[in-house]
Amino acid sequence: MTEQTPPNEAGTGPDLDTTGEDEVRSRQRRKLRDRMGDVGLIATMAFATIVAVGAVLAWAFFTGDNNKSSLTSGSSAPTTKTVDVSLGEFWVKPATLNVAKNTTLVLNVTNNGSQAHDLKIGTKQTPTLKPGEKFTLKTTAIQATVQGFCTLPGHRAAGMVMDINVQGASDGSGAGHGGQASGSGIGSKIDPSDATLDPSAKPAAGFKAADPTLKPVPGGTVHDVTFDVIDKEIEIAPGVKQMIWTFNGTVPGPVLHGHVGDVFNVKLVNKGTIGHSIDFHASQTSMDQDMRTIQPGESLMYSFKAEHSGIWMYHCGTAPVLHHIANGMYGAVVIDPADGLAPVNHEYVMVQSEFYFGPQGKEADLNKALLGFQDAVTFNGYFNQYVFDPLKVKVGDRIRIWVENVGPNEISAFHVVGTQFDTVFKEGAYILRPNNPEAGGAQVMGLMPAEGGFVEFTVPKKGMYALVTHKFNDASRGAVGHIIAE
Ligand SMILES: [Cu+2]
């Protein structure tokens, strides 16, 4: 077997390099002209010429090398090669195949994973294979390096790829490295077809924000709920729609509300297209039973007794979990203390989460989630929604806001501009209570991913107050809302 040649990165290099060179040159020229006058300018231009000549020579070297590869790879006699291929979470074995040009591959593909997978090479593709299923995939005669991959959402980005490298007939040179993972640098990992946020765009006229009001606990102490997993195209920011994996058709999913000691019977029904599951942080149970992944068409009953008060995250826990959370599979369970909480004028729930846009109308871009490049950060699933449709209160109103930071990656530094919190309850304990002997106040409730709590405050006078995460790169991506006191 011939050795794999290194990836060919010269293809996109020269343009980028010369653009950078132009910028550097003109910047150097400007700077030096300012400092040194005309004599300096002449010297600088001479230097710039040397740099430019160097760049051209470097380009010639790379492109020359590139041409040599393509010129010397000739044609080969048709051959057939049979290979056993294994699929699992999230890999393909073998991950690399080196073949001669004009080879037809006969791949005996077995799904050895615990989820459904497939394998696509060029125009040929296996059916979706359940765990344990096999399929023999015959490719067309391979003419150029190609990347095979699993087409299920997120699986390619999670690592389910097989690089098929064509060896040149006469000298063994590779013809380059295909696929989305080629090249070095972070930019090469982001799909250029991903939707982008326009921070100046406005939603359609008549936009209505999701009502953040916490509904009262339903009657009784046993709460029977059905969560249908539904794939649904949802607008996340003005002009940006994503194919969200939802619980009951919304992102975040429904807020559940009960008291300590209440029982929740949640029937999870998978009406989606891939496997999903649910994990209630408000419960204590083994993950291999209640949190197991169910396939489309299946359902499971997840019952738990709420033992502790607080706001608790729930989310799909099917691998890759990052992708399932990034694509909208989360919500909050609010458990009041057994004896309730003091009355307030307004009680809201804010679920903070990030979105990593895939192409318009498609699922989240897992690569961006892995890199931590969030496109939008929202309260209750829509960019700046309480700026577009503010919360209305009266001067002097006392407000409680429950905040659950579902992440998946970012912290929340929850702050309400113009107020101080006199009450902060976070992760099972009061940090601050009214009339405390220290006369303390708080400005921020800091929440790591999955942490939750509530704050209470009063709006002192007429005007506008803003809820934000004080991590301002995230605030500028949509984690802002307005409260108007009248
Ligand atoms: Cu899921």
- In terms of domains, do 164 and 136 share one? yes
Is residue 265 located within the same domain as residue 334? Answer: yes
Give distance in angstroms: CA of 408 to centre of ligand 1.
13
Tell the burial category of 263 from Cβ atoms under 10 Å away from its Cβ (0-12, 13-18, 19+): middle
Q: What integer pLDDT is reported at residue 188 of this predicted model?
A: 62
Q: How far apart are the CA of 294 and the centre of ligand 1, in A?
A: 9
Ligand 1 centroid–CA 276 distance in Å is: 4
- Residue 482 parent element (H or E): strand 480-485
Residue 394, in any domain of the structure:
yes
pLDDT of residue 102: 93
Closest CA to 347 of 465, 485, 214: 214
Determine the distance separating the centroid of ligand 1 and the alpha carbon of 227, expressed in angstroms.
Answer: 12
Whether 367 and 247 map to the same domain: the answer is yes
Q: What is the DSSP string of 111-174?
A: E-SSS-B--EETTEEPPPBPTT-EEEEEPPPB-S-EEEE--STTTTTTT-EEEEEEEPTTT--B
Does 94 lie in the same domain as 34?
no
Q: Given 43, 72, 101, which residue is the final one in a domain?
A: 72
Query: Rounded to whole angstroms, what are the CA distances from 328 to 117, 196, 276, 351, 356?
Result: 22, 18, 12, 11, 10
- CA of 127 from ligand 1 middle (Å) equals 21
> Of the candidates 36, 57, 72, which is a domain's last residue?
72
Tell me, what CATH number does 457's domain have? 2.60.40.420
Weakly modelled stretches of the chain, pLDDT under 50: 1-73, 169-184
Report CA(279)–ligand 1 centroid distance (Å): 10
CA of 176 to the centre of ligand 1 (A): 36
Residue 137 CA to ligand 1 center (angstroms) comes to 28
- Whether 240 is in a domain gets the answer yes
> Counting beta carbons within 10 angstroms of the beta carbon of residue 13, is it exposed (0 to 12), middle (13 to 18) or buried (19 or more)?
middle
Distance 318 CA to ligand 1 centre (A): 5
Same domain, 327 and 464: yes
Distance from residue 329's CA to the centre of ligand 1 (Å)? 6
- Tell me whether residue 274 is in a domain: yes
The Å distance, Cα 155 to ligand 1 centre, comes to 13
| Within a domain: 193 | no
What is the 302 CA–ligand 1 centroid distance (Å)? 15
Give the span between the Cα atoms of 298 and 244, in whole angstroms. Answer: 19
Ligand 1 centroid, distance to 320 Cα (angstroms): 9
Based on the fold, state whether residues 364 and 272 are members of the same structural domain. yes
Would residue 196 count as lying in a domain? no
338 and 444 share a domain? yes
Same domain, 116 and 173: yes
Q: 162: domain range?
A: 79-178
Provide the pLDDT for residue 45. Answer: 40
Residues 148 and 248 in one domain: no
Written as six digits, the tokens of 467 are 């809820």
* Cα 10 to ligand 1 centre (Å): 39
Residue 66 has a pLDDT of 36
Domain stop point among 48, 72, 96: 72
Residue 215 belongs to a domain? no
Number of domains, the chain: 3
In a domain, 161, yes or no: yes
pTM as predicted = 0.72
Angle at 169 between CA 164 and CA 174, to 5 degrees: 40
The answer on 83 and 62 residing in a single domain is no
Statement to judge: residues 325 and 396 lie in one domain: yes
Summarize pLDDT for 431-480 with one digit per residue, the tens: 999 887 778 899 999 999 999 999 999 999 999 999 999 999 999 999 99
Residue 341 domain flag? yes
**pLDDT at 340 (0 to 100):** 86
The verdict on 37 and 170 lying in the same domain is no
Nearest-angstrom CA–CA distance, 238 and 141: 45
Cα of 300 vs centre of ligand 1, distance in Å, is 14
How far is ligand 1, taken at its centre, from the CA of residue 466, in Å? 33
